[in-house]
């Protein structure tokens, strides 16, 4: 049971990649950033794929890479891209691999502030209005995660990971549903 993948979900800018790295360090596991794996395998960023081939093609690539990661790195801490968990097939894949899902629930304001600070254009959220619509739409899917962690700006990724780890223990030991 202890080898279950830990899957971090949430909106862009919620801190998934940073928290996954810290959680992996604390749990002595490998950290996998799904968007980085896509880039390694395709030589294209998710943004490039979406802009040049369309979101539908990107979602197919994303699903294939997620399946590979779950098959080959079944005990990793996996940071999903912001939209990955909103795809039912991806949620089913995670369930089939007995993954434990953790939603980093950051307010829209925190996410938008971080998106702007990163300075990288997000093809599915080119402006605040578009981003807010997407944020509101995806929340119901994120809420399906097994653990719900409120993200606060004043907490570091390490502090958030330290908050998550004890909540994961019952799931890792098989004492939670």
Query: 31-43, pLDDT tens digit by residue?
Result: 999 999 999 999 9
- Where helices occur in 28-127 by DSSP H, the ranges are 34-42, 46-53, 55-72, 88-96, 108-118
Residues 6+ apart with CB under 8 A from 112: 13, 128, 131, 132
Residues 13/106, Cβ–Cβ less than 8 Å: yes
Q: Which of 70-74, 163-167, 170-174 has the lowest mean pLDDT?
A: 170-174
Q: What is the mean pLDDT of residues 148-177?
A: 83
Residue 127 burial class via C-beta count within 10 angstroms: exposed 0-12, middle 13-18, buried 19 and up: exposed
Look at residue 118 in the predicted model and tell me its pLDDT. Answer: 76
Look at residue 1 in the predicted model and tell me its pLDDT. Answer: 38
135 DSSP 8-state letter: H
Look at residue 155 in the predicted model and tell me its pLDDT. Answer: 87
**Domain extents for the chain?**
6-172
Residues 101/142, Cβ–Cβ less than 8 Å: no
* Architecture of the CATH domain 6-172: 3-Layer(aba) Sandwich (3.40)
Whole-structure pTM over 0.75, yes or no?
yes
Residues 16/80, Cβ–Cβ less than 8 Å: yes
Q: What is the pLDDT of residues 79-126, one digit of tens each?
A: 999 999 999 999 999 999 999 999 999 999 999 988 888 766 666 667
């Amino acid at each position: 049971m202890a080898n279950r993948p830990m899957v971090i979900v949430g909106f862009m800018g919620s801190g998934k990649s940073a928290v996954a790295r810290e959680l992996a360090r604390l749990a002595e596991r490998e950290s996998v950033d799904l968007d980085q794996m896509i880039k390694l395998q395709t030589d294209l960023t998710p943004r490039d794929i979406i802009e040049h081939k369309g979101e539908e093609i990107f979602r197919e690539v994303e699903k294939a890479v997620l399946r590979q990661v779950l098959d080959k790195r079944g005990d990793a801490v996996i940071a999903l891209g912001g939209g990955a968990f909103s795809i039912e097939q991806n949620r089913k894949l995670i369930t089939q691999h007995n993954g434990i899902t953790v939603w980093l629930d950051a307010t829209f304001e925190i996410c938008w502030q971080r998106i702007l600070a990163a300075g990288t254009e997000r093809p599915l959220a080119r402006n605040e209005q578009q981003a807010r619509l997407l944020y509101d739409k995806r929340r119901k899917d994120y809420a399906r995660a097994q653990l719900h962690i409120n993200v606060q700006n004043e907490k570091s990724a390490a502090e958030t990971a330290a908050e998550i780890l004890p909540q994961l223990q019952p799931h890792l030991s098989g004492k939670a549903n």
